[in-house]
Each structure stands twice: as structure tokens, then as C-alpha cells.
Amino acid sequence: MAKGAQPPSTGTLRTTLIQWGEGQTLHRVHSSLYQPDQFNPSNTGDARFSPLLDNSGTLVPTLYAGTTLDCALMETVFHDVPFHAGFKTLSKVSHVDGQVSSAIRSPRHLRLIDLTSIALKKLGVRRCDLIDTEAAEYPITRKWAARFYGDHSNADGLLWTSRQDDRAQAVVLFEPRLKGLSFIPVSGPESLLLADGSARPEVLNLADRLDVVLV
């Protein structure tokens, strides 16, 4: 199991800031309580880079997205599917019910801290210490997010190759850095469950590729 490495307490991080995402469709899977472009203001979650607190201890609302719907589904609904062969079951009640998909676009390039492989080598942090860690290490990876946020007042968010779907990229965006930006709606919100209680075809297709049965 990968163990997260603590961010240094002093010195300048060798980060890479890139311009990314103008015209890129950002796919999201989120609670039906939120709108497609709504940042999550809750401090009760347990994700890799959130809840995020700034240097004063104030919560920074965040928005997660992926470059494909598969990525968004893998980072949420199917996040905890284990790595073992054979059929696996997943509860629709706890993982699918109340969830929706949506898609948005940014009208401008986003200024993102690059956490893909080349940039990580420059930063001096292994992917296994920041992106491929298990949930038990999230308190450490959230410290990195806080350090990135505090050190780069012009960064809109973070970008990395998704751990759950390495064909796609994932982003987390910081609401305070995007005040006044209106995301362009593309689709949704659309429930992941149909009226009869069955999952949408896109969800069932991915479940089939994972050998997962939704129950």
C-alpha cells in the first residue's frame, strides 16, 4: 500500500502551473442536491483533496470533474470497487440512488497545478505518494492541496491523471479563485436511475466492464 509523503513545511514547491480546459467538457457525478456548476461547501466529506481549508482554517468549496463520464463514474459510484477477478456486487441504494450526472464547460482556460507524471517528477513527489494513495492517506493528500492552494493565489485548481480511470484526467476546482466565472451548461443534471429504478445504460455498461452487478 502506498504511503503518502508529508508536504514540506518550508521552502518553495517546484510546482507547474498550466493553462488548461477552455472548451473542454467537464463531466460530473454528484448529489441531486447540487447544481452542475455548484461547488461543494460541505466540510464532512473525505476525498483526496477535500475538504480543503485555507491558511486561516476557512473552508474552500470545491468542484470535482473528469474529462469523461466513465472517469466521473469511476471516481464516485465505482470508486471502491475492489481489485479482484470475478463478479462483484454494488448497492444501488448506497452508491447510485440520489446521484446525477452533468456536464459543463469553462469559457476560458483554467490555471491548474499540474500533477501528472512529468510535473510530479519536477515537484519531487511520486505518484504513489499523492495520487495512488488509499483513502487512509487522504488526510496527508489534503495537506498537499492546502499547501498548493496557499502557495499559489492564482491557481484555479489541480489537474491529475485519474487513479480510477487512467485514460482520463480529473480536476478539482477552487471556488474562491473562480468568482464571477459562469460555466457553460452542456447536459444534465440527469438521474443515474431511470423511473423504474434501473440504472441508466451508461452506468450498466461500465458496471458490466467491471464485472459489477448492481443490486
191 in a domain, yes or no? yes
4 in a domain, yes or no? no
145 in a domain, yes or no? yes
139 in a domain, yes or no? yes
157 in a domain, yes or no? yes
150 in a domain, yes or no? yes
Number of separate domains in the chain: 1
118 in a domain, yes or no? yes
Q: Which domain CATH number covers 63?
A: 3.90.175
What CA–CA distance (Å, rounded) separates 56 from 118?
Answer: 32
| Domain limits for position 100 | 16-214
Return per-residue pLDDT of the chain as tens, 215 residues: 345 688 988 888 999 999 999 999 999 999 999 999 999 998 888 999 999 999 999 999 999 999 999 999 999 999 999 999 999 999 999 999 999 999 999 999 999 999 999 999 999 999 999 999 999 999 999 999 999 999 999 999 999 999 999 999 999 999 999 999 999 999 999 999 999 999 999 999 999 999 999 99
